[in-house]
Chain A
Amino acid sequence: MKHLLSTVGLERAQALEILDVAEDMADVATRAVPKLPTLRGKTVANLFFEDSTRTRLSFEAAAKRLSADVITFSAKGSSVSKGESLKDTAQTIAAMGVDAVVMRHSASGAARVLAESGWIDAAVVNAGDGTHQHPTQGLLDAYTMRKTLHGDASRGRDLAGLRVTIVGDILHSRVARSNVWLLATLGASVHLVGPRTLLPVGVESWPVTYGTDLDEAIADRPDVLMMLRVQQERMHAAFFPHEREYATGWGLDDDRFRRLGTDTIVMHPGPMNRGLEISAAAADSPQAVILDQVSNGVSIRMAVLYLVLSGSSSQEAAE
């Protein structure tokens, strides 16, 4: 696997390989010495044009657990805010000698632009590009779901038969997009719920069912309920009147949480707006696997870094 840019086009075998290698990586965390020497001598550059502490730290932890060196570039106060282009920033980092670039950028498609530009030689891992994709998030979500479904016998298994409902601002969510295609590849069935204004045009052609009624979706007893963050920036662009209206229609409040039943797991990519899209009771309940998502994130990212950085360079791009 040369780059990881998107879960669209990620084949089932490749996706399962990433999840299975992540199982081994998760084991490492339990050891006396929670490190592997595998990527010693490799350098991973974190190129974060958009702020994100959690994802950046997660990738940093993953790289360090594999003994790779990490250099971090974040946009605030950097040359980028002074007008330096993506091309120049990438080439500057590459001139320092890096083997992999983990990039988060506000423009959809930026990761592919970087990967195919010829400006750098390194492997590219997409840590979020605009509203397009966030593949490691999709993978850690799938990993978390698989663990819930199959426990210790997860290796080699897919998500056939699993029913997943994703709620919220689907239109602007790269997490939703990464999840939708990966879950379909792994055999899960996906249902999307949100206000009409936040469901994407053309959603009929996605491998999902969709609707605008959360209560109906909950009555359907999904195995997984994933709540997406409401982005406050969206309020003023006329997507809906105000937060209270959103919370009333699509928030996982205490009442809805009670109706959910104890078999459904509750997920959230974070950071949460407690009291808006998810109530405190729901977020802190035993059904919520939100912190598992975080620790699984490190394992998944270790697996991804291992797969793009080891192995001879005569390999095909898989994205």
Chain B
Amino acid sequence: MTSILIRGASLPDGTATDLLVDGGVVTEHGSGLSRSGATVIDADGLLALPGLVDLHTHLREPGFEQSETVLTGTRAAASGGFTAVFAMANTSPVADTAGVVEQVASLGAQHGYATVRPIGAVTVGLAGERLAEIGAMARSRAEVRVFSDDGKCVHDALLMRRALEYVSTFDGVIAQHAQEPRLTEGAQMNEGALSSELGLTGWPAVAEEAIIARDVLLADAVGARLHICHLSTAGSVEIVRWAKARGIRVTAEVTPHHLLLTEQLVADSGGAPYRSGYDARFKVNPPLRRDEDVLALREALADGTIDIVATDHAPHPVETKECAWQEAAFGMVGLESALSVVQAAMVDTGLIGWEHVARVMSRTPAEIGRLPGYDAPFAVGSPANLTLVDPSSSRVFSVDELHGKGVNSPYLGRELPGRIVATIHGGVPTVLDGGLLPAEEVSHG
């Protein structure tokens, strides 16, 4: 493994420094550092952030390799500045056994672009009937701590209670996809005046809020940790705020797209390359909502009610988006654009600074997922997981920036700020000069 010398980077707290990375860890800080044989990165004008950690990614392998694989998904992650991703369990077979989670973890380790932490299913086959072998998955080499039926809601109150009780014994957390199924049968987009006009079945906000309300009360009664995936409504924010004020151990995430985009895009996309209306690249679960929801979510991320940003990166093959809306798959890719979108929605609007970004996109997600090594990222002796960003650049987001298999991004043709210049994962560069390094170099690095 070659050593790396980063010159003149600005840390999130504003200080400028050189950083020396050797043998996978940060070994020195200072100015005017030098090291023969090191790869030198001139980081003048660049911001150094801790490697980003995504608590909610869909890597699709095993079973849906036509949409994404662990290799292509972690390449997409690295290009977006991520050094760790938590992979959701809705694969085929479902990640509900120790065997599947160990396989996914080892694929990640083999390819080397990012640390892959598998998420275990809460119920067998995500069917919502029986608990999965949660303990076995926790004890496996994959060391699963986060459990989720994401894609589906654990809607049965008794099962949710049991799952919370179960994980509380080993400091695990249940990550709930809050969607009351009976209120959202056939739902296609946010329920409101727009869905009525467009003739699309609505997904009412109350279907998310009712589940969150129930689950925070259950978490309180059981004394377990609860995490809410992809919060999308102002009402949900209020419930989480109330719960935290009472000391309930709930954490919440928001996706970058819910911080920037609204349901208006379904009716009027603003132009090429999207269809003027009904372009299914804006179809996502939970759906894009109203301006008021976007504003409430931004405020909540700034004041800590929402703890982290998580992408819910959901790649799909082209033909599942190139059809009528109700036949299309739900989901957007997001790893490559996440930091730029957060910068546009939260930093450039003056709501938060880069230290806060580092917290919500790296330190806190790692904490929730019990992933070690991210609590003091630039400290000497810490594993070298970092990303270098040029916050002053801006470009029109295009398909060329998508490095996974999915091209279902809602930002094509949109001007977005910030650019990832380099990503280092465990001391191994995965991105240099804005470009991904080839697989042979990364896996043997």
Seen from chain A, the residues whose Cβ lies within 8 Å of a Cβ on chain B are 8, 85-87, 105, 107-110, 112-113, 116-117, 129-133, 171, 174, 177, 200-206
Contact = CB atoms under 8 A, between A and B. Distances in A.
B434 interface: no
B351 interface: no
A107 B324 contact: yes
Contact of A130 (B193, B199, B204, B322): B199
Contacts of A129: 199
A177 B278 contact: no
A201 B325 contact: no
Given A87-B322, A130-B326, A109 B278 contact: yes
Interface string B190-225: 011111111110101000000000000000000000
What 6 pairs between A and B have smallest CB-CB spacing? A202-B193, A132-B199, A109-B278, A107-B324, A200-B196, A108-B199
17 contacts: A85-B323, A86-B327, A107-B327, A108-B198, A108-B199, A108-B278, A108-B325, A109-B324, A113-B324, A116-B276, A117-B322, A129-B199, A171-B196, A177-B197, A201-B191, A203-B193, A203-B196
A133 to B, nearest CB: 7
Contact of B198 (A85, A109, A116): A109
B199 A177 contact: yes
Given A116-B276, A205-B193, A108 B200 contact: yes
Contacts of B200: 108-109, 130, 132
B319 interface: yes
Given A116-B276, A202-B193, A105 B199 contact: no
Given A85-B319, A85-B323, 6 more contacts: A86-B327, A87-B322, A87-B323, A108-B199, A112-B278, A130-B199
Given A87-B322, A108-B326, A130-B326, A202 B278 contact: no
B195 A201 contact: yes
Contacts of A85: 319, 323
B191 A110 contact: no
Interface of B: 191-200, 202, 204, 275-278, 319, 322-327
A81 B162 CA distance: 43
Contacts of B276: 112, 116
Given A108-B278, A112-B278, A116-B276, A201 B197 contact: no
A109 B191 contact: no
A113 B281 CA distance: 12
Contact of A174 (B195, B199, B323): B199
B275 to A, nearest CB: 4
Contacts of A8: 197
A110 B193 contact: no
Given A112-B276, A116-B275, A117-B275, A107 B196 contact: no
B199 A109 contact: yes
B322 to A, nearest CB: 6
B196 A201 contact: yes
A130 B326 CA distance: 10
Given A108-B198, A177-B199, A202 B192 contact: yes
B326 A112 contact: no
Contacts of B198: 108-109, 132
Contact of A112 (B192, B277, B322, B327): B277
Contacts of B193: 200-206
A210 B277 CA distance: 27
B327 to A, nearest CB: 6
Contacts of A108: 198-200, 278, 324-326
A201 B190 CA distance: 11
A79 to B, nearest CB: 15
B12 to A, nearest CB: 43
A171 B267 CA distance: 18
B275 A86 contact: no
Contact of A131 (B191, B199, B322, B324): B199
A131 B194 CA distance: 13
Contacts of A117: 275, 322
Contacts of B196: 171, 200-203, 206
Contacts of A109: 198-200, 277-278, 324-325
Contact of A201 (B192, B326, B327): B192
Contacts of B319: 85, 87
B293 to A, nearest CB: 15
Contacts of A110: 324
Contacts of B202: 201
A35 to B, nearest CB: 35
